Chains A and B, each alone.
Chain A
Amino acid sequence: MALPDREKAERFVAYLEPIQHQLAVYCSRALNRADETADVLQSAVATAFRDFDKYSEGTNFRAWMFRYVTLETLNRNRAAMRLPSELDEQQLSAPRTLDITSFRLETLLDDPDAVLDHCDEVVAESISQLTDQECRILLLRAVGDFKYREIAEIMDIPIGTVMGLLSRARTQLRSKLLDYARQHGLLSKGDSA
């Protein structure tokens, strides 16, 4: 195999460096096993670098690169027979609005810090219980700060699907946080009801 062109590598690294951290956060959150982050990034980077000649200068490198990492995380989780994938069908048929009593949601909305200050792990755990697509869409929005149109391109799905799944992912995540908060007595205003 021919050695990669130094200039190509330098240009690639110059593009990659400002987004490395974001990619790492995204990748570790999207993976079932965070300890595979470096390995998955390496595979994604290798594929992207191979294809770098096809990248057109001046277009959105960040979105281009996130696509490779997204595909790699999906492959990795599927290979590991990730549990939520098996639940995809069941979750897709679930109602979009979850059964959150308005009172409980109000308490979370009124004092989100009380819950979220205790919830770093819960947030991470809860997103891993979303479907693969929902999880990635939510992360691309929250961590990658991508627009719906960009997410649609990265995921290769219609923009309407992005909107629907994002909305549902947010609802699901809030529901998980509420469950956790209720179980741990974090909602102060008498949520024992």
Chain B
Amino acid sequence: MNCQETRRYWDLFYDSEGDAELHFQLNEHLDNCVECAEWFDKQSRLESLIEQRLGVAASVELAPQVNWSSVLTGAGVTPAAKSRSWLFFSSSILALAASLLLIVGMYGLPFGDESPSLSYLSAEVHQHVSAGSLRPEFESRSDIEVDQYLLNKVSFPVRCPPRKDSGFAVAGAGLCELSQQPAAYVVGTVDQRPVSIFVLSKDSLDAFPKQRAELQRMQLTTCREGDTEMVLSIVDRNLVLVAGNVDSAKLTRVLKSYGTYPHTL
């Protein structure tokens, strides 16, 4: 395959379409042609930035505009009054359909007008990941691959996952929303036990008054929901929460090593 042919297949390559043979040939060319490899990278980066603008970037401003309960009522869909939490729903469906996007909205959560805390929502997601009822949309044991995956998925910067010497072995990553705040999560293990790292924009702190007040008093806070220990801090432009069923000293070590890698870009 020459350069021109290779580039003609960029769409298929980018969208992971076409057969294995085609991808083999494309990869073979890209491995041996720096110009095309660079060209593919640039095309893909631009496209994923555009997609981000079309999808994720629209989410924050759009979410409040659609009142789903009135949409459903207006459409004649009237299930029995909700007694379950939203997360219960989403996880069972996700387990079935392996849906790509988990949106942890406040809708239906048993909190009345008060927003659930960041720790409550993070612990819920972490428990579903630990139990296997939620699989991250991207699975890899390479921190660089996970970093690359998250690079253009959210509108705020996300740093590279913690290094292995912090005791954290990465396994994958995904996206979610916590009280309508976009978040990236990185999953992995510490001492073979599941640990999840949630990364939000620092600005999201306004949606969680309890945590905001705590972080105004101290740099790093710890808390617990059920069996899940959590540590929370602001790192550069991110709000970072590490959750796991291991002691908080180990979680703190993971948190402190978050973002100590210089970003690859």
A143 with B78: CB separation less than 8 A: no
CB-CB under 8 A from B102, the residues of chain A are 18
Kindly report which residue of chain A lies nearest to residue B14, judged by CB atoms. A170
Does more than half of chain A's interface fall in helix, strand or loop, or is it mixed?
A: helix
Q: With A and B bound together, what is the CA distance between A12 and B71 in angstroms?
A: 13
- Assembly CA distance A20 to B94 (angstroms): 13
Partner among B72, B101, B105 whose Cβ is within 8 Å of the Cβ of A22: B101
Is the CB of A147 closer than 8 A to any CB of chain B? yes
Against B, the Cβ 8 Å flags (1 = close, 0 = not) of A136-158 are 00110111010110000000000
With a CB–CB cut-off of 8 A, which chain B residues contact A166? 11, 15
Nearest 9 interchain pairs by C-beta: A46-B75, A45-B75, A142-B51, A109-B42, A9-B79, A10-B79, A123-B53, A143-B55, A42-B74
Contact between A147 and B54, CB atoms less than 8 A apart: no
* B203 in contact (CB, < 8 A): no
Residue of B nearest to A138 (CB): B54
Interface size range of chain B in the complex: 35 or more
Complex Cα gap A4–B67 (Å)? 21
B residues 62-78 touching A (CB-CB < 8 Å):
62-63, 65-68, 70-72, 74-78
Closest B residue to A167 by beta carbon equals B11
Contacts of B51 in A (CB 8 A): 142-143
| One of B65, B76, B78, B89 near A28 (C-beta < 8 A) | B65
A142/B49 in contact, CB under 8 A: no
When distances are taken between beta carbons in the complex, the residues of chain B under 8 Å from A138 are 54
Q: Is the CB of A21 within 8 A of B105?
A: yes
1/0 contact string of B32-60 vs chain A (CB within 8 Å): 00000000001101110111011101110
- The reply to whether B75 and A141 contact each other, CB–CB distance below 8 Å, is no
* Cβ contact within 8 Å between A25 and B71: no
Are A116 and B76 also in contact (CB < 8 A) when A28-B58, A37-B66, A45-B71 are?
no
Instruction: Collect the chain A residues with CB atoms within 8 Å of residue B67's CB.
Output: 38
A-B contact sample (12 more), CB < 8 A, given A17-B90, A45-B77, A163-B12? A9-B79, A24-B62, A37-B62, A38-B70, A46-B76, A49-B76, A60-B97, A109-B43, A123-B54, A148-B15, A163-B11, A166-B11
Given the complex of chains A and B, what is the CA–CA distance between A173 and B50 in angstroms? 9
Tell me the bound Cα distance from A147 to B103 in angstroms: 21
Residues from chain B with a CB closer than 8 A to the CB of A45 are 71-72, 75, 77
Residues of A within 8 A of B103 (CB): 18, 20-21
Q: Among B46, B93, B177, which residue has its beta carbon within 8 angstroms of that of A14?
A: B93
B213 located at the interface, meaning its Cβ lies under 8 Å from any Cβ of chain A in the complex: no
Q: A15-B93, A18-B94, A120-B53 are in contact. Are A29 and B58 (CB under 8 A)?
A: yes
The complex places the Cα of A173 from the Cα of B80 at a distance, in Å, of 45
- A17 B54 Cβ-Cβ under 8 A: no
Nearest CB on A from B68, distance (A): 5
Q: Which residues of the other chain, A, contact B72 by a CB distance below 8 angstroms?
A: 13, 45
Q: Are A17 and B71 in contact (CB under 8 A)?
A: no
How far is the CB of A15 from the nearest CB of chain B, in Å?
A: 6
